[in-house]
Structure 1
Amino acid sequence: MKLCLQNVGWRVRDKDIVQGASLDFEPGQMTAIVGPNGAGKSTLLRLASGLLRATSGDVWLGDASITTLSSAQLAAGRAMLMQDSPLRAQFTLRELVAMGGQISAPFMSTSVRLELAGLLLERVGLAAFAERDVMGLSGGERQRVHLARVLMQLEAAVHGTDRAPGFLLLDEPISAQDLSRQHLVLNLARAHASGGGGVVLVIHDLNWAAACADHIVVMHEGTIYAQGPPEQVLTNALANRVFGLEEGRVRIHAATGKPYVLPHDMICP
């Protein structure tokens, strides 16, 4: 089941925020959306999720327009982790994660849902805090518990079947994480893709994008500037035109063949 954008646009007050976006997101693949601030990355992801309705074009999940799907079908087919997931209610971590399966798997028993929530908390490194109040967590810990919640949404929908989970849509999922937890979060995303689910993430770190993604989409001024494998897309010419980096800042890792940018090269004299 693919997630497809067909000539999608979003226009506000005579201004095109996203225009003419056509993309096929594949199951089993991890796609990173990169670009400068204000390029339309998060808007594109919200359009793909159905949280924003396109003002032109259409979004398809499998063989159906996303606008025709029921809330349960949509919840089972894709889950979205927002940049900011505000929460002002008192729940334990286990309770919050378990809520992720309420719409996508309405017939799952409470006991099974809570058991699966515990396993997901273990995967995001928060099992020891399962009975703690969410409001007592740090920003990075809250970001990871919400990751567990959206994973719950997809995995509950296919629990006990041989079907692959749906699309995991992540908007800046490592923005509040230290380096080791960045690695943890991105490994979880890769594992989701390896299990047959699709992953689409917005990320500012070009090095992580190149290291982890199978496919990169570069957004610039509301349009898709380039897309393809990291080693073909992240060139010195693109880094100069889109990100304003001087020529020669992009290098190739000798062991992996992946492009990377060395921050030390950009320190002001």
Structure 2
Amino acid sequence: MVSRSIPNALTIAGSDPSGGAGLQADIKTFSALGVYATNVITAVIAQNTRGVVAVEPVSVGLIRTQLDNLLDDVEIDTVKIGMVASREVAQAIAAALARRRPRWIVLDPVMVAKSGDRLVDDEGLRAVRDILVPLADVITPNLPEAAALLGTEVPRDLAAMEAMVGDLAALGAPYGLLKGGHLPLDRCPDLLWVPNATRWLDAPRLRTRNLHGAGCALSSAIAAHLAHLPPTHPDVEQAIGDAKQWLLQALEASDRLTVGQGKGPPNHFHAWW
């Protein structure tokens, strides 16, 4: 086998014509962090920085064909899974990745856009929870997504976040980051869980509107950092922390961009431009 110094990453996600979220955000993030980006599209979404106006899911047959065709040819080191709209799509993704298991799978359970628009129905939500969460190495729900996965109320304070983590871990992913940005605090505390332990990862709350696709960028940054880890004694916690720090810098540099009239994107290439 030919030795590769640049890992290959795959994003399985919906599109965003404005380039700030979904597939496009993942490809930018992978590229910025030194991994080669490949993609399988699950839905075509008509949206901009102000909101979503239409969602057209890609047929499960075409998703399956995209996956099989790509994975038959390209050795994938790390996968980020984003928007999954149906049980059939979740099953197709799980089957394809089980046959050609990559080193790392990161699941961002995308259900609601930053604009508040719902992107998946209840059946799609259950499919993500029952089929894809147990397949993942790392999941990255925000508070509304975590509440949807568990069928509970959205946490309103840090104690409620802590109480939720055990139930999230029990869904099957050994690592996860419960994102606390929805709490009305002057900080953005995320709660990391690893096998048999939890730890708070804190960050300042930035005064920016440019949060469009921030969750997509974080999960794909985690996938990229995981791809660079050595095969022996990989430090997953460090990879997640590094990804969070990268996103903070991307948000701090986001005002260098002028994209749309609503919620702008992070500056994925802040270290390059």
TM-score range, shorter chain: 0.3 to 0.5
TM (normalized to structure 1)?
A: 0.34
Larger radius of gyration: 1
- If asked which structure has higher relative contact order (CA below 8 Å, sep 6+), I would say 1
TM (normalized to structure 2)?
A: 0.33
Is the strand fraction higher in 1 or 2? 1
